[in-house]
Structure 1
């Protein structure tokens, strides 16, 4: 059974029982991504590490380690 078929079945059952309709598949994906990002930032703060700029700083270190070609 596909996700779409399962959602249609859930909607049908909810209407029969007079319950609120379930959200469409994928409706809350961005909210979940935001919550995961915020949770990761929260854990970083609890570990007493800088919460911002970690990726940029790491990429900057990697770029400075590479030998520069003169051209």
Structure 2
């Protein structure tokens, strides 16, 4: 699976967004202050704007330097 994933590269228009995975905690914060696992999602679009490839990567935090290093 990892070998197949390495053969696909994101090109053209690439959209980046952060997401958080995990079960909600009772009374916990929502959004960027949550205890959930942060994940960076990158989506490659073709010339018509249709999705081609998607990459997801667990990141330690959602700071600017982390996002720039991923990009």
- TM-score higher than 0.5 here? no
Is the strand fraction higher in 1 or 2?
2
Is the helix fraction higher in 1 or 2?
1
Greater relative contact order (CA < 8 Å, ≥ 6 in sequence):
2
Q: TM-score, normalised by structure 2?
A: 0.20
